Structure 1
Amino acid sequence: MTLTRDGGSLFSANMAGTLRLIVYLAIASVLMVLDHRGHWMGKVRYGAAIVVEPLYHLAGLPASGFRAARVAFADRRKLTEENKQLRVDLLLANARLNHMAAVSRQNKRLKKLLDTRRQLGMNVQLARVIDIDLGAFSHRLTLNTGAHQGVKVGQVVIDAHGIMGQVTQVLPGTCTVMLITDPDHAIPVTDTRTGLRTVAHGSHESGQLSLTTIPVSADVRVGDKLVSSGLGGRFPPGFPVATITHVEPQLSGMFLTARAKPSADMQRADEVLLLRDLAPPVGPPAPASVDGPPRALAPDAVGSSSTSARRSR
């Protein structure tokens, strides 16, 4: 037997390790047999896994949080872009819808104008309104037709509802129309209910006509329809002009004052008609111009006749 310096056996430490290994192997064999027969180790592993599982979740929280934040940011950006695109699509759809509604209204107005043209059986010209001035001292329209299209000063302008005014200025490509509501404008009218003839003047009130020369004894009521009388030869007779909305006596007590709303749609008119057929004059005929005595009574004629008479003798 080999001895060490301290007097112990050289193989005593190795023998102790070998014995421990044998004991461990025996315990492991026993545990394997017991696990194979009673499945006890599975239960132990299951319990240990339950105890260790929260540690796995705790260790994975930083990575899960990072992934969740990245997904949330990506989803938020995607939702923001989709929301922006949806707002653009909504605005575009509303614009298209409004445009279609405007086109539908314009088509209806044009249909009314064409129906009016067929009903009138007159020579008319379609024009588009490009500017409108409804100030306190001037009510005018500017149309996209002028001298190149045959427009002349004095032509009557109407829409599907009634008379709007008359052309006062003509340029090569445009013309200016004075509306019947202009303070400087006047139009002869007739009350369709009573046949009363009077004159409707424009007023400083936007969209109103004023009638200031109605006799006190005249039968004028709110709701009476006024049409053009044709007097003066400028406006053709029978066209709708306005509807009386208010009647009251003047302070002097000599006349009645009435206000009327024009039949034509002044503020929303986009297209109008210009009458090319001038109204026939209504009233006494114009006096004949006197240029001198008839040719049969002229001095030269008398002299020539007497000379010819002497020659015949």
Structure 2
Amino acid sequence: MALNRDGSSTLFSASMAGTLRLIVYLALACVLMVIDHRNGWLAKARYGASVVIEPLYRLAGLPAEGVDAARVAFADRTKLSDENQRLREALLLANARLNRMRAVAQQNARLKQLLDTQHSLGMNVQLARLIDVDLGPYRNRVVLNVGQREGVKAGQVVIDAHGVMGQVIQVMPHTCVAMLITDPNSAVPVTVERTGLRTVAYGTRGGSELSLPTIPVTADVKVGDKLVTSGLGGGFPQGFPVGTVRRVSPDLSGMFLSARAAPAAALERSGDVLLLRDLAPPMGPPAPAPQVGPPADLAPGADTNDAHKQGASH
């Protein structure tokens, strides 16, 4: 409000001009109130002004909305990341448990096979577990978790549910070392199951096959023939599976046939094995068969006159 130099208000001055201006202002205010009350013009004006001012409000509020949106997005992302991490850990744990259950199921199946083998053998056997392996081009041996304190002796045969694995060669107080049949120093007397041919299966370098180098040329040996222990020498009991013939070919000299066989036992997969307590006795020359038939004095070609003489004397 304008003030005079003496500090008095011009609107409420005693002059006529100030009074007229006051009346005009009051009348204008009354007219505006009446018009606004009847027609709502001021509301329309405020609406139009809001149309112009609202974008400015929105523009001014964008930084705050952006900050809020970023905070929410970061919180959601962190929450989703944590949840994904928990789900990933749960999935890994579930897979580990599933694999463990699968491994336990396979182990139970192998133990069941060993138990069935034990019942079918009707022999005194001892369960053992592999705790170490010593595989190489010149050694093919395993360490078992039983030893002298458990009654293990050198020479005991080691088998699994599929066939002969090897033989114990060294005994410690609570462990023992078994030489597998694929060891280069191993030799197992075997018989070709189909024909009854007797030969020896040797271990080879690399420890994956058996070698049969001294088969007669005239022998009937074919791919797929099964090899079983012959029992000769007393090291391995008779009748246990040893391997299956894979290849047969003449040797370099041409005087013998040479064959290669795959071991019947799961040498690289077996974890539980059986030790045979009952060792096979050494097999020597066959004992003479008892005589069957008529007495020697009545055999064809015997002197019947002597028989008649003996009957007459009686």
Q: Shared fold by TM > 0.5?
A: yes
Match for 2:89: what amino acid?
A: V
Query: Does 2:149 align with 1:153?
Result: no
User: What root-mean-square deviation, in Å, do the aligned CA atoms of Structure 1 and Structure 2 show?
Assistant: 2.3
Q: Which residue of 2 aligns with 1:49?
A: 50
Match for 2:251: what amino acid?
A: Q
After TM superposition, give the deviation of residue 273 of structure 1 in Å: 0.2
Q: Which residue of 2 aligns with 1:298?
A: none
After TM superposition, give the deviation of residue 12 of structure 1 in Å: 5.7
Match for 1:79: what amino acid?
A: L
What TM-score do you get using the length of structure 1 for normalisation?
A: 0.83
Mapped partners of 1:100, 1:139: distance in 2: 30
Query: Does 2:92 align with 1:91?
Result: yes
Query: Any idea what SS the aligned residue of 1:177 has?
Result: strand
Query: Any idea what SS the aligned residue of 2:248 has?
Result: strand
Query: Does 2:124 align with 1:142?
Result: no
Mapped partners of 1:85, 1:233: distance in 2: 61
After TM superposition, give the deviation of residue 48 of structure 1 in Å: 1.2
After TM superposition, give the deviation of residue 185 of structure 1 in Å: 0.5
Q: Residue 34 and residue 237 in structure 1: after superposition, are their counterparts in 2 closer, same or farther (change >3 A)?
A: same
Mapped partners of 1:45, 1:282: distance in 2: 121
After TM superposition, give the deviation of residue 205 of structure 1 in Å: 2.8
Mapped partners of 2:250, 2:99: distance in 1: 47
Q: Which residue of 1 aligns with 2:293?
A: none
Match for 2:235: what amino acid?
A: R
Mapped partners of 2:234, 2:46: distance in 1: 116
Query: Any idea what SS the aligned residue of 1:284 has?
Result: coil
User: Where does 1:50-129 land on structure 2 (aligned, <5 Å)?
Assistant: 50-129=51-130
Mapped partners of 2:190, 2:154: distance in 1: 21
Mapped partners of 1:16, 1:95: distance in 2: 99
After TM superposition, give the deviation of residue 76 of structure 1 in Å: 3.0
Q: Which runs of 4+ in 1 moved over 4 A?
A: 9-15
Once the two structures are overlaid, the 10-residue window that deviates more, 13-22 or 50-59, is: 13-22
Q: Which residue of 2 aligns with 1:207?
A: 208
Mapped partners of 1:254, 1:122: distance in 2: 41
Mapped partners of 2:217, 2:181: distance in 1: 25
Aligned partners of 2:127 and 2:275 also within 8 Å: yes
Match for 1:267: what amino acid?
A: E
Query: Does 2:232 align with 1:231?
Result: yes
Match for 2:262: what amino acid?
A: K
Q: Residue 15 and residue 232 in structure 1: after superposition, are their counterparts in 2 closer, same or farther (change >3 A)?
A: farther
After TM superposition, give the deviation of residue 81 of structure 1 in Å: 2.6
Match for 1:58: what amino acid?
A: L
Contiguous gaps of at least 5 residues in structure 2: 288-314
Mapped partners of 2:22, 2:277: distance in 1: 127
Once the two structures are overlaid, the 10-residue window that deviates more, 77-86 or 159-168, is: 77-86
Q: Which residue of 2 aligns with 1:26?
A: 27
Q: Residue 107 and residue 19 in structure 1: after superposition, are their counterparts in 2 closer, same or farther (change >3 A)?
A: farther
Q: Which residue of 2 aligns with 1:291?
A: none
Q: Which residue of 2 aligns with 1:183?
A: 184
Aligned partners of 2:12 and 2:19 also within 8 Å: no
Mapped partners of 1:76, 1:97: distance in 2: 31
After TM superposition, give the deviation of residue 90 of structure 1 in Å: 2.5
Match for 1:227: what amino acid?
A: V
Q: Which residue of 2 aligns with 1:170?
A: 171
For residues 248-290 of structure 1, the C-alpha deviation after alignment (integer angstroms, 9 at most, x for no partner) is: 111211001100000000011110000011113322289xxxx
Once the two structures are overlaid, the 10-residue window that deviates more, 99-108 or 184-193, is: 99-108
Query: Any idea what SS the aligned residue of 2:223 has?
Result: coil
Query: Does 2:242 align with 1:253?
Result: no
Contiguous gaps of at least 5 residues in structure 1: 287-313
Mapped partners of 2:18, 2:270: distance in 1: 114
Mapped partners of 1:138, 1:14: distance in 2: 131
What is the percent sequence identity of the aligned residues?
A: 69
Q: Which residue of 2 aligns with 1:304?
A: none
Match for 2:117: what amino acid?
A: T
Q: Residue 18 and residue 143 in structure 1: after superposition, are their counterparts in 2 closer, same or farther (change >3 A)?
A: farther
Match for 2:200: what amino acid?
A: V
After TM superposition, give the deviation of residue 18 of structure 1 in Å: 4.2
Mapped partners of 1:82, 1:11: distance in 2: 75
After TM superposition, give the deviation of residue 13 of structure 1 in Å: 7.1
Match for 1:160: what amino acid?
A: A
After TM superposition, give the deviation of residue 246 of structure 1 in Å: 0.8
